[in-house]
Amino acid sequence: MSSTDPDLEMILADMRQEFIEHTRDKLELVEDEIEALRSGTGDCERNILEIKRIIHSIKGAGGSFGFPTISKVAHGLEDYLETTGDVSTVAGEDLLVFVNTITDILISGEEPDTDLAHMMLRSLPTGRRQSGVRALDKGSALMIMPRGVQRKIISQELAQLGYKVTIVDNAIEAIDMALTLKPDYVITTQVLERMTGIELAWVLQMFKMTRSVKVAVVTADEISDEALESLPPHTTLIKKGPRFSLELMSFIRKAGK
């Protein structure tokens, strides 16, 4: 059976339509949880957990049915919740922006083109300051780090400074996100599953759209002169230790100029 077989195309079209309908049903459930958050009539912790559960299922299915941007928007909502901090500072109106963006794609029935997808993703809300006041939008940051205290602290600090933070835990997904989002800078650990952080920086140099992206590679090892000489352009090595926060903030200030 060829890929152009009419029966196969019909089956794929039916599966795609089923995904659209099921996803719209799921988004209605998310909207109910958001309304409970906004009205204060529910259990905030439970509402957030349910939103995370539903959105995670949408993220996992989007790419399989030809809607990779839906997966990225859902990923963005997860990042928003991780970087916002305390549950009490989550803003219902922000969550609705993510839901409405996914809904718009579903209504169109088509995966948006590259430029539209980029615009949609860059316009999603950032995390908020602990006071609940939105920080000025200063750009976007891509983080490649495993789950842990350090990732949470850094991502929340960046969000409070006004950066839209996208978090992934592997280099392959990071490359895809970098090409889609065109972030202002990248922060990665040196130790990754498929390649090192320095190798990832070299890969980003290969693509025209990410060639000028500034990259910070976080390492626990001593930084030798040889390592510094092997760095690709726009790349900084930052060693974990007493001066880590100062050096990271210095990198961010320079990268934001």
Residues whose CB falls within 8 Å of the CB of residue 143, separated by 6 or more in sequence, listed in order: 151, 154, 155, 158, 165, 166, 167, 168, 186, 187, 188
The pLDDT of residue 183 is 93
Question: DSSP state, 134?
Answer: P
The pLDDT of residue 128 is 63
CA–CA distance, 163 with 129 (Å, rounded to integer): 11
The pLDDT of residue 1 is 44
Straight-line distance from the first to the last Cα atom of the chain, in angstroms, rounded to the nearest whole number: 55
Residues whose CB falls within 8 Å of the CB of residue 102, separated by 6 or more in sequence, listed in order: 23, 27, 58, 70, 73, 74
The pLDDT of residue 42 is 74
The pLDDT of residue 130 is 47
The pLDDT of residue 137 is 66
How many angstroms from the chain centroid is the CA of residue 25? 24
Q: Give the pLDDT of the chain (257 residues) as one tens digit per residue.
A: 455 677 778 888 888 999 999 999 999 999 999 999 888 877 888 999 999 999 999 999 998 899 999 999 999 999 999 888 777 778 889 999 999 999 999 999 999 999 999 999 988 988 765 455 555 567 899 999 998 888 988 998 888 888 889 999 999 999 999 999 999 999 999 999 889 999 999 999 999 999 999 999 999 888 788 878 889 999 999 999 999 989 999 998 888 66
Closest of 158, 120, 155 to residue 137, by C-alpha: 158
The two counts, helices (H) then strands (E), for the chain are 10, 5
Q: What is the pTM of this model?
A: 0.84
CA–CA distance, 164 with 79 (Å, rounded to integer): 9
